[in-house]
Amino acid sequence: MNSPVLVAAELKGLLEPDQLAGLDVTWLPADQATPKGDWLAIVPLLSRWMGGTELKQLPKLRIVANCAVGYDNVDVVAAEMRKVIVTNTPNVLTDATADLTWTLILACARRLVEAIDLVRGGRWAGWHPELLLGVELRGRTLGLFGAGRIGQAVGRRAVTFGLRIIYAARTAKTDFQRDTGAERVDWSRLLTESDILSLHAPSTPETKGIINSDTLGRMKPGAILVNTARGDLVREEALAIALEEGRLGAAGLDVYADEPAIHPRLRAAPRTVLLPHIGSATHDTRRKMAAIAVANVQAVLQGKAPLTPVFGGTVP
């Protein structure tokens, strides 16, 4: 008999039939609440909250196979209490997300949105030596908050652009330092020395709201803030005010605290590049993410260890 599983309906087009062999799939659209029932596994999108209530109404659940590397949509304490394994999709999305981070850095530094608007709006009056002058990257300082897989990939790309790299993370990254010349600094130095501050730490109680009116006020005048991590690291209204007042040079954002809503003041703020959470959105990466999520389900339901556990790596 096939194993009953819930899979996000939006992943249907990314999965091949053989990846679903042995599974009796109920496709669950993102706008539908998590149902009650005897499903053994769920593959949710990051927009689905998997808290104590949701886990309780799936009493036979053995695994939450999140289709994302971040898992702040899962109450891991509640999952652990119920002996439900939680997995994510690390590594396969590192390059795509690092590339998108660089898209934002370059778009901010070279005022891409203003330039496109000028041309599309028919207001371009021809080449001018002082038209849309941006920030030269060579010799400037890139600060990475979080230097795990994605933070390091962003840093490695920075070498080509001639940037000095500093980073703050809980542990030292010696290989990364050796390869890129990056220097580990404390949070205070990261704030005050970065010309570009790029966020790559997960959303946790320690990191939520770490970019706020106080920390924005300590950043270099004219600095660029980039966030491809999680939206709730940034207090959106405070960021909008820093942009309105001209203290911050620009902000490039892929993620927001209350997606898909964006604080109206931030949506209207000047010098922003606002993307709709597409960090990992390449054909290859999204297929790989879906494949890993389902492979984790297959492994656990076959009594094997999950491939990429967040915790609960041994099958109960």
Residues marked as catalytic: 230, 259, 277
Residue type, 87: T
What is the longest distance spanned by two Cα atoms in the chain?
71
| Least gap, CB of 145 to ligand NAP (angstroms) | 6
CB 148 within 8 Å of CB 204: no
Q: Where are the alpha helices (DSSP H) in 204-282?
A: 213-218, 236-244, 264-267
Backbone angles phi, psi at 143, to 5 degrees: -105, 130
Question: In sequence order, which residues have a C-beta less than 8 Å from that of residue 246 and are 6 or more positions away?
Answer: none
- Which CB, 216 or 301, lies closer to ligand NAP? 216
SS3 97: helix
| Least gap, CB of 186 to ligand NAP (angstroms) | 10
| Least gap, CB of 82 to ligand NAP (angstroms) | 23
CB 108 within 8 Å of CB 96: no
Question: In sequence order, which residues have a C-beta less than 8 Å from that of residue 271 and are 6 or more positions away?
Answer: 108, 111, 114, 243, 248, 249, 250, 251
- Which CB, 279 or 309, lies closer to ligand NAP? 279
- Which CB, 26 or 177, lies closer to ligand NAP? 177
- Which CB, 195 or 254, lies closer to ligand NAP? 254
Minimal CB distance to ligand NAP: which residue? 148
Please tell me the distance from the alpha carbon of residue 257 to that of residue 254, in angstroms, as a whole number.
Answer: 11
Classify strands 272-274 and 309-311 as parallel, antiparallel or unpaired: unpaired
CB 311 within 8 Å of CB 76: yes
Integer CA distances (angstroms), 67 to 75, 82, 166, 177, in order:
15, 20, 30, 31
- Which CB, 146 or 306, lies closer to ligand NAP? 146
Residue type, 26: T
| Least gap, CB of 129 to ligand NAP (angstroms) | 37
| Least gap, CB of 234 to ligand NAP (angstroms) | 13
Beta pairing partners, 258: 261
Please tell me the distance from the alpha carbon of residue 280 to that of residue 274, in angstroms, as a whole number.
Answer: 15
Residue type, 158: A
| Least gap, CB of 78 to ligand NAP (angstroms) | 19
- Which CB, 5 or 153, lies closer to ligand NAP? 153
Residues that bind ligand NAP (CB under 6 A): 69-70, 90, 93, 97, 146-151, 168-171, 200-202, 204, 206-207, 228-230, 254-255, 277, 279-280
